[in-house]
Structure 1
Amino acid sequence: MRVPLSWLREYVDLPAGVTGRDVQAKLISAGLEVEAVEQLGAGLTGPLVVGQVLTIEELEGFKKPIRFCTVDVGDAGGSGAPQEIVCGARNFEVGDKVVVVLPGAVLPGGFEIAARKTYGRTSHGMICSASELGMSDDHDGIIVLPPEHEVGTDAIALLELVDEVLDIAVTPDRGYALSLRGVARETAIAYGLQLGDPALIDVPAPNSAGYPVQVSDPYGCDRFTARTVTGINPEAHSPLWLQRRLQKVGMRPISLAVDITNYVMFEVGQPLHAYDRSRLTGPIGVRRAEAGEKITTLDGAERVLDAEDLVITDDSGPIGIAGVMGGAHTEIAESGADSGTTEIVIEAAHFAPVSIARTARRHKLASEASRRFERGTDPQATSAAAQRAVDLLVLLAGGKADAGVTEVISPSAPRTVAMPADHPDKVAGTEYGRETVVRRLQEIGCDVYGSDELIVTVPSWRPDLAFPNDLAEEVIRLEGYENLPSTLPRLPSARGLTESQRLRRRVGRALAGAGYVEAPSYPFVGAEVFDQLGLDEDDARRRTVTLANPLYDTEPSLRTTLLPGLLATLRRNHGRGAPDLALFETGLVFQPSGEAVVPPRLQVDRRPTDEEIASLEAALPHQPRRVGVVLSGAREQAGWWGKGYPASWADAVEAGRTVAREAGVELTVRQEQYAPFHPGRCAVLLAGEQVVGHAGELHPRVVKALGLPERSCAMELDLDLLEAAGGDGVTGPRVSTFPVATQDVALVVDASVPAADVERALRDGAGELLEAVRLFDIFTGPQIGEGRKSLAYALRFRAPDRTLTADEASAARDAAVAAASERTGASLRGA
């Protein structure tokens, strides 16, 4: 929401010396997010005046049309003589009033104006466009002013070129701040001044003579006001002050009737719609659309309506999507002699926020009106907003207000909230006192009754105030968050990190030490990513938890694997020139429980009961914690130390082992086929017989579908399962001071036998003396036979209390070979 300071001063009598920066600081202290203060007209100096075009000479022989004009600027030029100006615009004629900047002036951006020779003539100034003056981005032509403005008038003041505009990021719970009325109320509270509420105007009583309205869905529309203005001058244009205010808030002026409805929307916060009465047939109706109905909206697009859409109708069918956009059939024509619009029906209604939000999202049709309706508008402001629009149409368009006033209202009681008077004190951890609490609530428009227990009637423009904590927040923010005392919580002694927290920290440090960079990602995914990963239709990872209100329609679900976010980060960084990547993330994945449970609403004044905690946990999906890594490019760079080598599936497997070591678990690695990995380069990681994860190289089809670098690799482990398999944590290794005995063995097995099975058999057979086993060579060839392979292992033996003899080491080696022979069919090479 853009708020011009000059407009804001109409409703709050700010001291003369107050600047936009001062108001920004006050509003930020009150909890509004004022992102910037734009200085309009910064560096602008005159002379900048109203001029009248006297003559136009068309210059020939140039690549584009050029005009040599004489312009009457009164006494602004010093001599009183007309100024000669070269101009390339074509949208003005002799006799038009224009904006002229003369030599010696400086335009925004430090652009100095001086007499200069161009196109064979000397130009003494410039005829200005809106973009050159910083009024808008309109480059179509120069500004043509209404004829009533006198020649020589200062255009800086006339066009209100110097101003300050506050740019406020309005959060979803503060829809009232999407209006000058709402921001003015916050400003008045911040400065302790009176508010000139633009909605406090006299409104005639409803009667039966107004335009007929039939509301068939009182839930979707609980209030509808219709007013009629006749005798409108179709040639009336929006005055400059109205156009400038709309431009400052970011709205393009269109026509007088449309500009007035937009102006009132920004002023009061109530969206309006204007209908050409001559195009309406029968009563205006409000109902749900019939599935498949069509409407052409004001943007010229034909839209197919959904049965949940709320629509405005007449006897011809839908004439507008309620709260979102009107239909082209009843559009107000552009101002001008041929427009023909002389009678206008003004609509001011209150629509259900959720219905408008869903319709706007369904049709991908966000508008200024829908932004306000979906955040909640003031239902009591419809009559005042309609009256304000009628008054402006009478004043500016020469119209006459029809005596008929239509009001369709669904009865509703004021909303009340009961709250202990000391509740804000408990929430903030400080003492405000009842008097301060009551005063602050009254300042935001609440009616407050009671002593120790307050009964608070919430104002109609604050639909976000529904619970005692909402009221407490209002008191705290108006008293100033910066005034809250800073106190450290008292922690019970002898409590540190849990074992799970320590494990996560160890895992993060270990992966960082191995060269990985942590890259957390958003936990949201779309269904198409599972297709890109090549998951089967019955894969459990396709069963997701769907969000009721996702941030993005394309990612409506919570992730069931860490890989989509990590791979997206890998792709983004690779596309920006970082070819060698090793990334990791630890985080939760979300698995649906299969049953929909409504969670309880917990209180903040006490600890939840065990039953409440159990109910809350039952409503949550299962959320195991995972760790994932992705790699691409070089794992080690080439240099004077060597050739380096690229990242491969083995590095992904080693990352899994690195994580497992921190949990005190020794992984078993076996070959497996598991999406999204390459079928021949995929490993399943086991802790005992429990599958805890997978690692390997990604399938080429997955790499192509996701736009990843070739031979990208990944690993994902379940940290919760790994922690459970690790027992009582990590214990330090016992270091023996006695020498090691090394024995090498080369075993020949079938090519289909996994090396991991052979290694496990060697470990089991060697007994307690075996300290380590390492595979250092794999050989295939005609010497050992077709379909066979040779695996060479280095066995390290050591005793903790003595030096081993050669016979002891050889016996342990022979036992290891015997176990491998029995379990895998291995035989010693050369035997």
Structure 2
Amino acid sequence: MQFPESWLREFCNPPLTTQELADTLTMAGLEVEELAPVAPAFTKIVVGEIKDAVQHPNADRLRVCQVDVGQGALLTIVCGAPNARVGIKVPCALVGAELPPGEDGKPFLIKVGKLRGVESFGMLCSARELRLSEDHGGLLELAHPAPLGQDIREHLQLDDTLFTLKLTPNLAHCLSVYGIARELSALTGAPLKVLEFAPVPATLNETVPVRIEAPDLCGRFSGRVVRAINPRAATPQWMVDRLARCGQRSVAPLVDISNYVMFELGRPSHIFDLDRIHGGLQVRWGRAGETLKLLNGNTVTLDEQVGVIADSAQVESLAGIMGGDATAVTDDTRNVYVEAAFWWPDAIVGRSRRFNFSTDAGHRFERGVDPEGTVEHIERITQLIIDICGTGETACAAIDDTRVRMPQAEPVRLRVARAAKVIGMPLTQAQCAQALAGLGLALTEEEGVITVTPPSWRFDLRLEEDLIEEVARVIGYNRLPTTPPLAPITPRLRAESRRSPFAVRRALAALGYQETINFSFVDERWERELADNADPIRLLNPIASHLSVMRSTLIGSLLQVLKFNLDRKAPRVRVFEIGRVFLRDASVPDSDTTVQGYRQPLRVAGLAHGAVDQLQWGRPDTAVDFYDAKGDVQALLAPLLPVFEPAEHPALHPGRCARVLLDGKAIGFIGELHPRWCQTWSLPSAPVLFELEMDAVLARNVPAARPVARRQLVERDIAVVVAERITHDQVVQAASSALPAELLRSCVLFDVFRPRPLRDGETAPAGALAQGEKSLALRLTLGSDDNALTDTEIESAMARVLQALAAQTQARLR
């Protein structure tokens, strides 16, 4: 919300400086985001009138002007503006004037100069040269009544300040200059100007029939016919200036009047071309397949969720959002219909976003606009139309006011003791009552309780906490005492069997991964494709149409990060995220930390793409694969020993995907991205991903002391031949099952050998491995804490290992 300080002070003018005024509003919850001068500093620029303008004798594009600045003698000024002509009044910079700084940041001083042989005693200025606008098409022409010699800052009221407020959604009553003045009066005690709207005499007996078919859309609809106007009249400069200082460009007088009243009183309205309305108006919900061309030139397709105003032939406008092109006023309009309505906020909220635009009207209506002011505001609009666009034949009809369903104010109780406890300072009932009454709230008092009936412009006052906030705002947040909290402090000590999430982050960072933080709501397509989730948890009010469901996996978020980096030519990407996923679970109760029916576990997921290492000379440049990511997962879980078993996952490549298990319990997945999704996401190669349950990653075994072996350990190497289908885990498990853990200290694979394919006609040499076989070399470490192992015990142990391998994996000694 942007407005000039001078307009605010017309309604309420407390004895405060500009900065004090801004501080007062900010400390009352109306945050002043920016203070900016209307115009930059400049001096000695006055109103001048061109009395004579002749062609420069030595330049085709220059004119020699005689300018009257109220000093008696005319000033000779050479000017190159195309609109320099006799009779216009323009800003004139006198000799010694200082203009706003240019692009170099230095002020521009006006001196006596000579242009093509003619002396010039000043400068005639454009709006751009004064930094009032970007218009550089010619001199800034002033209204003819401007007094000669008057300082231009005084004439254009440039010694003003623009206030930009950052309002929260509950402060809809402050989306107007008068609404802010009402707040300022309550905060400072300065008198508030009472608005009076004298009824415009009705001389026409004419109405436009209005039928409200949707009371849940529109509760009140007021309108008036005005005939014989002049839409080509010029908008007064004072109105143009005020609109510009509110950030609104002047369009045409009728549009400017509607916008002006909206900024002044917070009332969006619409002016129809009466002659383009067919029959009466219906206020209803849209119908599937209907289309409407809007004032901004867009054509939108409607449905039953959008409110409209229609006539007997077509839809005329989007209710509370934007008018239609069919009944828009033009330079040929002679008769108009002025409309002001009350639209229910729930019927307007979110509708603009469906069509990818927003309007000032929709912004106000979806927060709430006073339903009681429609008639008075139409009177204000009518009077401005007559004053600006009126002709000798202008006439208006009586206001037709249709009420079908108006909001009913529900009384709200405020307990003074509760307010004092929440605010954190002693309060009396008199203080609370004075603060609420100053805001214009009707109230009744009992012992320790104040009952407030909210006025029609306060849609936000529904709970006791709302009234407590109002009391705090009026008293002033800066007056709240600084009181340190008093509470018993109980340290939350982490169990020794768990590590902190920070330790997980640090471990992944040490492995070369960078952390990302993403939204918990994602595209529904990700859930369907990457998680095989046909029924995701949907958001009631998503912030964007493509972020409509809660994620049940972190994979989609990481793929989005990968795609973003690859689009920017990142050669190597390693990222991870620690975040919650959201799953349906009927067993979850409702509590302070849970939502009934929904489980929200914390997970950690990682993604690797590109080269294994950064560019370097010591190793060949190889792409990251499944085993690199597997090593990272093992390092992350160490000293726990995970087991990997083949599995399937909707997002991962069949045959290149594994389930991660700890103590026989599945804790996540690891694998390459499915080729189908690589193609969908336009990835040059498949990334490797993993996703693990965070609780399992945080778990750690409590360290237990073990004595150092007093006897020397024994190492034995064996090579066994097994079928290609036999996995490393099967071989290790078979070997480990043959001996007790006290004897077999470790079993490590250190070599794999496969025969090369035979050429056509070639036969394998005797004793060679057959096709479909492989050789695995294992190193077994044996030891005993009681005594040194003898050769007999060692040979017996190795024999049992070979027997177990033969029995469980059909292995034979190579």
**Partner residue of 1:32 out of 30, 33, 46:** 30
Q: Does 1:362 align with 2:354?
A: yes
Superposed displacement of residue 369, structure 1: 0.5
Hey, what's the Cα distance between the residues in 1 that align with 2:326 and 2:337? 14
Relative distance call for 1:497 and 1:188 in structure 2 (3 A) is farther
- Aligned ranges 1:410-449 → 2 under 5 Å: 410-449=405-444
Deviation for aligned residue 1:377: 1.3
Q: Secondary structure at the match of 1:330?
A: coil
Give the corresponding residue for 2:174.
177
In 2, the alpha carbon distance for the partners of 1:793 and 1:59 equals 105
1:467 to 454, 463, 466: 463
Q: Could you say which residue in structure 2 is the equivalent of 1:385? A: 377
| Deviation larger for 124-133 or 183-192 | 124-133
Bigger Cα displacement from structure 2, 705-714 vs 555-564: 705-714
Alpha-carbon distance in structure 1 between the residues aligned to 2:735 and 2:368: 72
Aligned to 2:559: 567
**1:610-649 alignment runs, 5 A limit:** 613=591, 619-637=596-614, 647-649=624-626
Q: In 1, distance between residues paired with 2:569 and 2:48?
A: 54
Taking structure 1 as reference, are residues 288 and 642 closer, same or farther at Cα in structure 2, changes over 3 Å only? closer
Indicate conservation of the 8 Å contact 1:56/1:94, yes or no: no
**Does structure 2 retain, via aligned residues, the 8 Å contact 1:767–1:812?**
no
Code of the residue aligned with 2:75 in structure 1: it is A
More off after superposition, 798-807 vs 407-416: 798-807
Partner secondary structure for residue 657 of structure 1:
helix
Deviation track 1:631-655 (CA, whole Å, cap 9, x = no partner) reads 2345543558766865433232233
Greater displacement, 550-559 / 43-52: 43-52
Contact kept in structure 2, 1:351 and 1:373, CA below 8 Å? yes
1:454-493: CA deviations, max 9, x gaps?
3221122221221122222222344444525443362464
Where do 1:339-738 residues align within 5 Å? 339-398=331-390, 402=396, 404-409=398-403, 410-451=405-446, 452-482=448-478, 483-488=480-485, 490-491=487-488, 493=490, 495-497=492-494, 502=499, 504-530=501-527, 534-535=529-530, 540-573=532-565, 575=567, 579-592=571-584, 613=591, 619-637=596-614, 647-661=624-638, 665-703=640-678, 705-706=680-681, 710-720=685-695, 730-738=701-709
| Secondary structure of 1:432's aligned partner | coil
Paired residues of 2:724 and 2:772 also in contact (CA < 8 A) = yes
Counterpart for residue 81 of structure 1? 75
- Bigger Rg over Cα: 2
Matches within 5 A, 1:769-780: 769=742, 770-780=744-754
Q: Does the CA contact (< 8 Å) of 1:656 and 1:717 recur in 2?
A: no
2:284 matched residue in structure 1: 287
Q: Which runs of 5+ in 2 are unaligned?
A: 757-767
Deviation at 1:345, TM superposition (A): 2.3
- The one-letter code matched in structure 1 to 2:294 is T
8 A contact 1:160–1:244 mirrored in 2: no
TM-score, reference length from structure 1: 0.85
Deviation at 1:258, TM superposition (A): 0.7
Q: Distance in 2 between matches of 1:8 and 1:96?
A: 32
Judge conservation of contact 1:747–1:791 (CA < 8 Å) in 2: yes
**Given the superposition, is the C-alpha separation of residues 825 and 402 from structure 1 closer, same or farther in structure 2, using an over 3 Å criterion?**
same
User: Residue in 1 aligned with 2:267?
Assistant: 270
The separation in 2 between residues aligned to 1:58 and 1:321, in whole angstroms, is 56
Return the alpha-carbon distance in structure 1 between the equivalents of residues 122 and 310 of structure 2: 54
State the alpha-carbon separation in 1 of the partners of residues 718 and 162 from structure 2. 81
- Counterpart-to-counterpart distance in 1, 2:720 and 2:51: 101
Report the CA distance between 1:123 and its aligned residue. 7.9
Verify the 8 A CA contact 1:310 1:322 in the aligned structure 2. yes
Measured at CA, do residues 449 and 672 of structure 1 come closer, stay the same or move farther in structure 2, by a change above 3 Å?
A: same
Q: Cα gap change, 1:546/1:612 in structure 2, threshold over 3 Å: closer, same or farther?
A: closer
Deviation at 1:268, TM superposition (A): 1.1
Q: 1:529 to 1:414 in 2, by over 3 A?
A: same
In structure 2, the CA distance between the partners of 1:634 and 1:186, relative to structure 1 (3 Å rule), is farther
CA distance in 1, matches of 2:311, 2:360: 24
Partner Cα separation in structure 2 for residue 818 and residue 126 of structure 1: 108
Give 1:129 deviation, angstroms.
4.9
The 3 A distance-change label for structure 1 pair 427 and 820 is farther
Partner of 2:99: 106
Measured after TM superposition, the shift of residue 702 of structure 1 is 3.3
Corresponding letter in the other structure for 1:378? D
Match of 2:763 in 1: none
1:6 correspondence with 2:28: no
Identify which range, 544-553 or 489-498, moves more after superposition: 489-498
Provide the rounded CA distance (Å) in 1 between the counterparts of 2:559 and 2:665: 26
| Structure 1 counterpart SS, 2:173 | helix
Equivalence for 1:217: 214
Deviation at 1:261, TM superposition (A): 0.8
User: Does the 8 Å contact 2:48/2:70 carry over to 1?
Assistant: no
Q: Distance in 2 between matches of 1:125 and 1:699?
A: 76
State how far apart, in whole Å, the 1-side matches of 2:634 and 2:437 are: 63
- Tell me: CA distance 1:120–1:693, structure 2 relative to 1, closer, same or farther (3 Å): farther
Q: Return the match for 2:305 from 303, 308, 322.
A: 308
**Matched position secondary structure for 1:541:** coil
Check 1:488–1:75 CA distance in 2 against 1; reply closer, same or farther (3 A cut).
same
Query: Aligned partners of 1:118, 1:668: CA distance in 2, in Å?
Result: 90
Number of equivalent positions: 789
1:366 CA displacement? 1.3
CA distance in 2, matches of 1:214, 1:824: 85
Deviation at 1:375, TM superposition (A): 1.2
Q: Is the 8 A contact 2:231 2:253 kept in 1?
A: no
8 A contact 1:545–1:621 mirrored in 2: no
Letter in 2 for 1:75: V
| Alpha-carbon distance, 1:282 to partner | 3.0
Amino acid paired to 1:763? S
| Residues 489 and 707 of structure 1: CA distance in aligned 2, closer, same or farther (over 3 Å) | farther
Measured at CA, do residues 622 and 489 of structure 1 come closer, stay the same or move farther in structure 2, by a change above 3 Å?
A: farther
Q: CA deviation at 1:625?
A: 1.8
Aligned counterpart, 1:226? 223
* Conservation of the 8 A alpha-carbon contact between 1:56 and 1:67: no
CA shift in 2, pair 1:562/1:46, >3 Å: farther
1:336 alignment partner in structure 2: none
Identity %: 31
Alpha-carbon offset, residue 367 of structure 1 = 0.8
Question: 1:98 deviation in Å?
Answer: 4.5
Name the counterpart of 2:765: none
SS at match of 2:432: helix
Deviation at 1:755, TM superposition (A): 2.4
Gaps of 5+ in 1: 334-338, 598-610
**Secondary structure at the counterpart of residue 672 of structure 2:** strand
Shift of 1:689: 4.3
Structure 1 distance, partners of 2:796, 2:695, is: 40
Question: Structure 2: how far apart are the matches of 1:715 and 1:673?
Answer: 13
CA-CA distance at 1:667 after TM superposition: 1.7
**Aligned partner of residue 43 in structure 2, secondary structure:** coil
